[in-house]
């Protein structure tokens, strides 16, 4: 998902790959993955099937302070995992409810994506979660913005196990992971197939299907379940949720919504998010008026540049989901950009180099930055980090100060 040099650009072009996966195409056995239909601990994440039980098999919610003994998680491919402490017996009431048993907390895992790392960092209060990571796909192929990951890669505590397109399975076999965390679809399906052949347990999460920032961030609770870090996850997510609520409160009286375009043109084409994507939901939360609302669905849409330019020229704000590293041909790829309203008014923004890694961890700060560039009059004196003011002529970017 995330050859970071080339792959990172692809991610930026399509506004983060998972967002363009069609939820109807995710298959678990003979069943398509469906939104959670049984009570679980998710408030926003529609596709997270994680249920907690007490010793007698009664459903409980640790995020409401209730005591739990066991957990059952259904992943994005339909696998049902019974999660228990190593010393616990398998309870009789769980018969028929699970396919595999995993002893937690995990101590030896391989991860596919930097977004997995981001959510693991959120619960890494004592270092044990990141210490459990023994292999990362694309580990040394790009810059990491998490210092503990850089250090562990340099010291050989974490091994680069190759790309997700062609992992080094010999290295993975030597690691002998308890779990490989993956995304289904695209290259992930090949990883899943090989894991099956080798008898390696994989867990596929569905964070990429969610259509809001809070829902995506809430998948921290899945990782917490695998590490017995529910208390840490609660503190983290409650903080994120509270900060987002404050942002919404400050914007509650906004009546004038700036017209916003999100996207840009590259050699891969011109992609913009559809109406129900998490990107557009964030723009709406921050009281912006997204100009391609007629594009229904959650995936990203590929459109011709002429269509893009015709609407983009009247947008108040232009957000480019890439950092300057990948924008050296920006002017050539956007003929007529000088006439765009946002360009004339100096309201063109790109994202910071760490946006695609750290942004999920700091969901509240991403939304606060977005609100700041949309409504600087409300957030006076703030300096942004994740959304930067972009100088097209120089291909440079700097924090925006409201």
155-175, pLDDT tens digit by residue? Answer: 999 999 999 889 999 999 999
Mean pLDDT of 247-276: 96
Q: Can you give the three-state secondary structure of 176-202, one letter per residue?
A: CCCEEEECCCCHHHHHHHHHHHHCCCE
pLDDT at 19: 33
Cα separation, 306 vs 323, in Å, equals 23
Contact 317, 347 (CB under 8 A): yes
Compute the Cα dihedral for 360, 363, 368, 370 and give only its sign. positive
- Pairing mode, strands 202-204 and 259-262: unpaired
Cα separation, 316 vs 306, in Å, equals 18
185 pLDDT band (50/70/90 cuts)? confident
Q: Which of 36-50, 144-158, 246-260 is predicted with the least confidence, judged by mean pLDDT?
A: 36-50
Query: Which percentage of the chain shows pLDDT scores above 70?
Result: 90
Cα separation, 307 vs 170, in Å, equals 48
For the record, the structure tokens of 381 come out as: 């004196």
How far CA 390 is from CA of 202, 346, 375, in Å, comes to 41, 8, 17
Residue 28 has pLDDT above 70, yes or no: no
In which residue are the tokens 């925006």 written? Answer: 400
Query: Is the bond preceding residue 105 a cis peptide, omega within 30 degrees?
Result: yes
Cα separation, 111 vs 204, in Å, equals 10
Cα separation, 282 vs 352, in Å, equals 17
Helix (H) or strand (E) holding 402: none
What is the pTM for the complete model shown? 0.90
180 pLDDT band (50/70/90 cuts)? very high
pLDDT at 3: 39
Mean pLDDT of 372-392: 98
Residue 17 has pLDDT above 60, yes or no: no
pLDDT at 371: 99
Mean pLDDT of 310-320: 98
35 pLDDT band (50/70/90 cuts)? low
Cα separation, 118 vs 220, in Å, equals 9
390 pLDDT band (50/70/90 cuts)? very high
Residue 7 has pLDDT above 80, yes or no: no
Beta strand segments in 200-268, E: 202-204, 259-262, 264-266
Query: Which percentage of the chain shows pLDDT scores above 90?
Result: 84
pLDDT at 340: 98
Mean pLDDT of 266-289: 96
Q: How many residues does the structure list for the chain?
A: 402
138 pLDDT band (50/70/90 cuts)? confident
For the record, the structure tokens of 321 come out as: 């989901």
Mean pLDDT of 322-332: 95
Compute the Cα dihedral for 64, 66, 71, 74 and give only its sign. negative
Cα separation, 63 vs 229, in Å, equals 11
Contact 240, 214 (CB under 8 A): yes
- In order of start, what are the domains of the chain with their CATH numbers? 33-241 (3.40.50.1980), 251-401 (3.40.50.1980)
Mean pLDDT of 234-251: 99
Instruction: Return the CA Rg of the chain.
Output: 22
Whose CA is closest to 279, among 294, 299, 259?
A: 299
Quote the mean pLDDT of the chain: 91
Cα separation, 213 vs 32, in Å, equals 23
Our CA angle for 362, 365, 371, nearest 5°, is 145
Residue 25 has pLDDT above 60, yes or no: no
39 pLDDT band (50/70/90 cuts)? low
pLDDT at 38: 55
pLDDT at 40: 73
Residue 226 has pLDDT above 50, yes or no: yes
């Amino acid at each position: 998902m995330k050859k970071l040099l080339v792959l990172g650009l692809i991610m930026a072009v399509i506004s983060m790959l998972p967002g363009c996966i069609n939820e109807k195409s995710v298959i678990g056995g003979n069943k398509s993955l469906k939104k959670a239909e049984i009570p679980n601990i998710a408030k926003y994440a529609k596709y997270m099937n994680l249920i907690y039980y007490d010793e007698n098999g009664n459903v409980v919610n640790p995020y409401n302070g209730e005591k739990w003994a066991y957990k059952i998680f259904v992943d994005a491919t339909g696998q049902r995992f019974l999660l228990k402490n190593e010393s616990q017996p398998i309870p009789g009431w769980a018969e028929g409810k699970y396919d595999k048993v995993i002893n937690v907390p995990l101590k030896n895992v391989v991860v596919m994506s930097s977004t997995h790392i981001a959510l693991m960092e959120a619960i890494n209060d004592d270092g044990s979660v990141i210490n459990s990571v023994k292999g990362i796909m694309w580990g040394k192929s790009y810059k990491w913005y998490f210092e503990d990951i850089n250090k562990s890669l340099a010291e050989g505590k974490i091994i680069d196990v190759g790309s997700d397109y062609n992992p080094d399975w010999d290295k993975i076999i030597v690691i002998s992971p308890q779990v490989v965390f993956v995304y289904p679809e695209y290259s992930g399906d090949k990883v899943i197939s090989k894991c099956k052949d080798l008898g390696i347990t994989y867990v596929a999460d569905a964070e990429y299907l969610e259509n809001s920032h809070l829902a995506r961030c809430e998948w921290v609770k899945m990782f917490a379940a695998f590490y017995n870090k529910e208390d840490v996850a609660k503190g983290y997510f409650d903080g994120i949720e509270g900060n987002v609520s404050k942002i919404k409160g400050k914007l509650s009286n906004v009546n004038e919504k700036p017209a916003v375009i999100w996207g840009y043109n590259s050699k891969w084409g011109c992609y913009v998010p559809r109406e129900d994507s998490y990107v557009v939901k964030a723009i709406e939360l921050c009281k912006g008026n997204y100009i391609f609302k007629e594009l229904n669905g959650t995936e990203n849409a590929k459109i011709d540049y002429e269509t893009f330019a015709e609407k983009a020229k009247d947008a108040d704000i232009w957000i480019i989901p890439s950092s300057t590293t990948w924008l050296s041909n920006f002017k050539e790829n956007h003929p007529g950009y000088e006439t765009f309203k946002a360009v004339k008014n100096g309201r063109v923004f790109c994202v910071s180099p760490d946006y695609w890694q750290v942004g999920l961890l700091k969901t509240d700060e991403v939304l606060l930055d977005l609100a700041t560039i949309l409504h600087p009059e409300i957030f006076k004196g703030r300096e942004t980090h994740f959304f930067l003011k972009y100088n097209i002529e120089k291909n440079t970017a700097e924090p925006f100060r409201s």
